[in-house]
Structures are given as structure tokens and as C-alpha cells.
Amino acid sequence: MRILFLDLKAQYRAIRPEIDEALGRVLASGWYILGRELEEFEREFASYCGVRHAVGVGSGTAAIQLALSAAGIGPGDGVVTVANVSAPTVAAICLAGATPLFADIDGRSGNLDPERLSAVLQRDTGRQIKAVVVVHLYGNPANLERILALARESGIKVIEDCCQAHGALFRGTKVGSFGEAGCFSFYPTKNIGAYGDAGMVVTNDDGIAERVRMLRNYGEKEKYLNTERGINSRLDEIQAAILKVKLAYCDRWNETRRKLADLYSEQLAGCGLKLPLPDENGSRQVYHLYVVRAKDREYLRARLQEKGIATAVHYPRPIHFQPAYSDLGYAPGDLPETEAACREVLSLPLYPELEPQAVLRVCEAIREIV
């Protein structure tokens, strides 16, 4: 029996009657964009995150772009983030018209290293840097306390990239509620996923919420009155109805992910791989991915493949090695922890429908190989 890396069909089978009902309701309503389904989902998602506002947009990328724009970040501004991600975080900074700068990660957590951020801010003598986009990678909250303190000291804004961290807690509080805004993606593979593209900006700032609402809809303040130069990036009624169904399962699914992750960590202890860090100080990771580090990743991956076990790499190529971003002024060796992580990370199968038995089989296979 092959073990899949992810099985989205299994999730649909498990909740099919509710999803089909939601789809039928929207299709029959005759109203498909900016309606009741979205308003309800926005209210429920804001409440889930413990914030005043949630504004649905077309994707996680658009959420970051519009949150930056709404926070007043644009051309001429520098925005610090990490490079051990896939393109959207950095693409969104560029779409907002700003210039990305990279700070290295903490090799143990894979998240932005506050000390590296501090160094980047100190070098910024021209005071070009106006914001930091903090990624909670793999569903593991970054050190927001230290990052927020540094941001306050230097007067820059904090945007949280929560695209992998729906429901995660930093020291007891939901991520997305710490910075100026939190940005979520509902890409199908995320902890709660649409059947298409969708995203959300959450914020406690009334002004940012209002501006994102305008920017997502051509910059309209009211019908045919444009007070901003906006774009078209809305979370449609069909996806909102689907996501309302899935939000009710989010905590249960996250709990199952955490149990499976604990099983992995228990079974893989002492086998020579670097494992994800355990939770600390009231934080709660939601394991969007279960990522180990192996010195000889390609060998391990190939041998697991032979045994019918699918794995993935998030992410093999840091952004400063990507051709599209070669003009940002970074060279190999500039971000050593980031570069080492990209060589060694390996994501093991993990999703709520995965049987614990399958986790045991993956662990047994890994122990045999290493």
C-alpha cells in the first residue's frame, strides 16, 4: 500500500453532505460575489482569530499585498522577510511596490531569527525599512514577542504571514492578532482549504480593514466612487460557504495533526534526524507540515519513494537563489542557515485523515534507511 503525501479526496468524502449542501445553497441563491456567505464567514473567522475584523480576498498572496498597501507600505519602502519560503510572500511584497530584504532564520525553528532581524535593521541607516513580514512556517509560530519589540523600537510595521498557521497560538494567543494585520491563505492544501483560491486579512485596526475592503474591490468606497487605486481580489460566495463548513472542523483537524506529529516525534527520536521543536510557553503549533532535517535528504527521499512513501520538500530553493529575484542583491552564502535548511528539509505525510498506522510505517521505513 502506497502512503500518499496528502489526500484531499479523503477529506471531501468525510464531509461531503455538508459541502454539497453549501454548494447547492449558493448556486441556487443567484448571488456569487460579496454577499451573505462571505459576511458570515468573515464574522466567524474574525471571532476564531480573536480580532475585530476579517476581510476576505482572493488568495494568501493578495492578503499580504493588500495588508501591506493598506498599512501604507509601497514604492521606496523596504520590507524584511525570510527566504526559506515559496515565492508568494516575497511576490506579495513586490506586488505592493516595496522592496524585499532578507534576514536569516533560526536553524532550529526555521523561522525568522530576531537577532538577524535586529542586525538588518541596524544596517538600515537610511531608514528605508518600513515593515517586516513574519512567516509562521509549517504552522509553528515565530518569536513574536522579540520581533514586536524590535519593530516597536525601530518604528516599523509587522504583518504576519499566517498562511500555514490557522489556529496556531503564540503564548496562548492566536497568531494573526499580534501585528498590524494577519494574512491567511485557503489554498486547497492549507489547514483549512477552499476548493479553489481564497485568502483573508485579519486586523484590529479599523483603518486597515476599511482600506483592504476598498482595495480588494477596485478601490470603491461606494458603488462607482473610487477613492483608491484598487485591484480585483475577492473571496467568492461558493468558497466562503465551503470555508464556513471547514472552519467548524479546524480545531479538531489541528488536534489530529498534532497527535500524528507527536507520534512521529516519539517514533523518530534518536534516529539521527533533526525533528521539529516541541511547543513552549503556551504556544501551540498546528503542523501544516511535519518537517524533519536530514543531512542526506535526497537519499532518504529516494529510498522512501521506493518503499511507496511519498514525501515533499518545502522548500528546495531559497528565494535569493530564484532567477526572478536575482536582482535583489543577495549571493550564495549570504543566508547560511536558510541555505542549509533548504538543502536538508524533508516533509513527511501528515493530514487529519492519515491513519496512525501509516505514521508508524513511515517511521519504521525511516529507521531502516538511516
Quick one: 156 or 198, whose CB is closer to ligand PLP? Answer: 198
Please identify which residue in 56, 88, 176, 276 interacts with ligand PLP, judged by CB under 6 A.
88
Q: Which amino acid is at 98?
A: A
Near ligand PLP in 108-147, by CB under 6 A: 135
Smallest distance from ligand PLP to CB 164, Å: 5
Which helix (H) or strand (E) segment is 69 a member of?
helix 60-70
- H helices of 269-355, in order, are 297-306, 336-344
Smallest distance from ligand PLP to CB 85, Å: 5
**Category of 204 on φ-ψ map: left (φ > 0), alpha (ψ -120 to 50) or beta:** alpha
Q: Is 163 in the site for ligand PLP (CB under 6 A)?
A: yes
Please identify which residue in 143, 177, 185, 256 interacts with ligand PLP, judged by CB under 6 A.
185
Q: Quick one: 95 exposed, middle or buried, by C-beta within 10 A (0-12, 13-18, 19+)? A: middle
Spatial contact of 117 and 135, defined as CB atoms under 8 Å apart: no
Near ligand PLP in 56-85, by CB under 6 A: 59-61, 85
β 220-222/225-226 pair status: antiparallel
Please identify which residue in 45, 48, 187, 351 interacts with ligand PLP, judged by CB under 6 A.
187
Quick one: 101 or 159, whose CB is closer to ligand PLP? Answer: 159
Quick one: 64 or 151, whose CB is closer to ligand PLP? Answer: 64
Candidate segments 2-10, 53-61, 210-218, 346-354, binder of ligand PLP by CB under 6 A: 53-61
Please identify which residue in 143, 164, 191, 217 interacts with ligand PLP, judged by CB under 6 A.
164
Q: Is 350 in the site for ligand PLP (CB under 6 A)?
A: no
Q: Which residue in the shown chain puts its C-beta closest to ligand PLP?
A: 60
Residues 6+ apart with CB under 8 A from 323: none
Spatial contact of 131 and 77, defined as CB atoms under 8 Å apart: yes
Q: Is 89 in the site for ligand PLP (CB under 6 A)?
A: yes
Spatial contact of 122 and 103, defined as CB atoms under 8 Å apart: no
Smallest distance from ligand PLP to CB 157, Å: 17
Smallest distance from ligand PLP to CB 63, Å: 8
Quick one: 199 or 366, whose CB is closer to ligand PLP? Answer: 199
C-beta contacts of 145-148 below 8 A and 24+ residues apart: 145/170, 145/171, 146/114, 147/112, 147/114, 147/117, 148/178, 148/179
Candidate segments 2-10, 42-50, 159-167, 269-277, binder of ligand PLP by CB under 6 A: 159-167
Q: Quick one: 252 exposed, middle or buried, by C-beta within 10 A (0-12, 13-18, 19+)? A: exposed
Number of residues that bind ligand PLP (CB under 6 A): 14
Please identify which residue in 161, 237, 339, 344 interacts with ligand PLP, judged by CB under 6 A.
161
Rounded distance, CA 356 to CA 351, Å?
Answer: 11
Smallest distance from ligand PLP to CB 315, Å: 10
Rounded distance, CA 150 to CA 118, Å?
Answer: 7
Rounded distance, CA 354 to CA 165, Å?
Answer: 19
Q: Which three cell numbers mark 262?
A: 507527536
> x-or-dash pattern for ligand PLP, window 198-217, by CB under 6 A?
-x------------------
Smallest distance from ligand PLP to CB 142, Å: 11
Rounded distance, CA 214 to CA 231, Å?
Answer: 9
Quick one: 164 or 239, whose CB is closer to ligand PLP? Answer: 164
Which residues in this chain contact ligand PLP in the complex, by CB under 6 A? 59-61, 85, 88-89, 135, 161, 163-164, 185, 187, 197, 199
